[in-house]
Amino acid sequence: MDGPTVKMINQPLLPHRFEITDLPTYRDTARAIKVMTVRGAGAIGGTAGYAMAQAALEARDAHFGEDMALAAEIVSATRPTAQNLFYAVRRVLRAIEAEGSDVPKARQAAVAEAQAIADDDAACCEAIGRHGAELIQDGFRLSTHCNAGWLAFVDWGSALSPMFVAHRQGKKLFVFVDETKPRGQGARLTAWELLQEGIDHAIICDNATGHYMRTGQIDMVIVGSDRIAANGDVANKIGTYSSAVVAKANGIPFYVAAPTTTIDPDCPSGNDIPIEERDQDEVRKTWGWSDDGEFLAVRTAPEGSPARNPAFDVTPAEYVAGIITEKGIVPATPEGIASVARKD
């Protein structure tokens, strides 16, 4: 934050243009989450915390509680699957409640708590990188789906963090990057991050992953998560489940990397995770840069054909070799999840 204004990378413009966008009000910040100016579990959580801090700065003294309740409702409604979002909203509200009726202190507490959430996310992801890098052997060929790197968190990332650390340790690795339809976060964002880091990689069609697994060209899969249920089931970007099933069929270890803030201990299983359904035009159209330098949408489907667009799917715990958290690598079991789940 810069005063009351939140500044963030405008991710839909990447990798062709790098732009910082200013969000002066909490409603602006909430909308940025909803339209995916920012996306990724930790980044959504950090942004939600800052949105609540902005709301505290904007709230009327005489109607502070009422205004904060409305802000919490608006921010929470932006992305229904992302657990980090709800975690951040709750933390800021608790920090405010701890100050009682002292509104000036409540405002200060909200800003401080938002910063603490962001700092915690960065520290967790750095630790995930250290733990996950121990799994990566020199010469490994890895696969990942969607984007769970620097852009998806406050710093480092989850799924890509072990790759960054392993690369900096001098290990040679190669990453197969699923394009991740319909919004192309793998092709646009993960590939861009790996390119900046100097890690060898190739973008592949989502439906090519199975081919490379069956022909023995992938040694390990690491993906991120937007919510982890108490039994170890994992919600992540649509297409993750397919990758997990094929990995299991080919004896390839499938790991999920996520900070413990992504765990929802009140969610019994993946069947209880709400799955966001987004605008059908994300499927019917393709966004990109023309040769004339114009960012535009091109229709790729028949005018009258409807589309379905679930943003996430659920991978049952039985397909997950382990959860890489900031506290270490734990099994995707109720006991494993309970051993690291946060109480706050």
3-state helix, strand, coil in the chain (%, to 5): 45, 20, 35
Give the residue-averaged pLDDT of 60-88: 97
Catalogue all structural domains in the chain, each as residue range(s) with its CATH number: 6-126 (1.20.120.420), 130-340 (3.40.50.10470)
Q: How far is CA 105 from CA 32, 81, 323, in A?
A: 27, 32, 38
Could you report the per-residue pLDDT of 178-228, keeping only the tens digit for each?
A: 999 999 999 999 999 999 999 999 999 999 999 999 999 999 999 999 999
**Nearest alpha-carbon partner for 152 in 201, 188, 202:** 188
272 is an active site residue = no
| Rg from Cα positions in the chain | 20
Give me the residues paired with residue 228 across strands.
Answer: 234, 263
Higher pLDDT, 157 or 293: 157
Give the model's pLDDT for residue 213: 98
User: 179-207 burial by CB neighbour count: b if 16+ within 10 A, else e?
Assistant: bbbbbbbbbbbbbbbbeebebebebbebe
* Sequence-ordered list of residues with C-beta below 8 angstroms from that of 91, at least 6 positions apart, any chain: 49, 113, 116, 117, 344
* Sequence-ordered list of residues with C-beta below 8 angstroms from that of 273, at least 6 positions apart, any chain: 81, 227, 229, 233, 235, 264, 267, 312, 314
pLDDT surpassing 70 at residue 1: no
Burial class (CB in 10 A: 0-12, 13-18, 19+), 263: buried
Give the model's pLDDT for residue 36: 95
Q: Are strands 285-289 and 295-299 parallel, antiparallel or unpaired?
A: antiparallel
Point out the catalytic residue in the list 120, 226, 233, 313: 226
* Sequence-ordered list of residues with C-beta below 8 angstroms from that of 114, at least 6 positions apart, any chain: 1, 46, 49, 50, 52, 53, 88, 92
Q: What is the DSSP letter of 137?
A: P
Could you report the per-residue pLDDT of 218-254, keeping only the tens digit for each?
A: 999 999 999 999 999 999 999 999 999 999 999 999 9
Please tell me the pTM assigned to this model: 0.94
pLDDT surpassing 70 at residue 327: yes
* Alpha carbon distance, N-terminus to C-terminus of the chain: 24
Higher pLDDT, 81 or 289: 81
How far apart, in whole angstroms, are the C-alpha atoms of residue 264 and residue 229? 5
Token digits of residue 165: 């650390």
* Sequence-ordered list of residues with C-beta below 8 angstroms from that of 279, at least 6 positions apart, any chain: 309
Give the residue-averaged pLDDT of 149-162: 97
Token digits of residue 73: 């409702």
Share of the chain above pLDDT 70, in %: 99
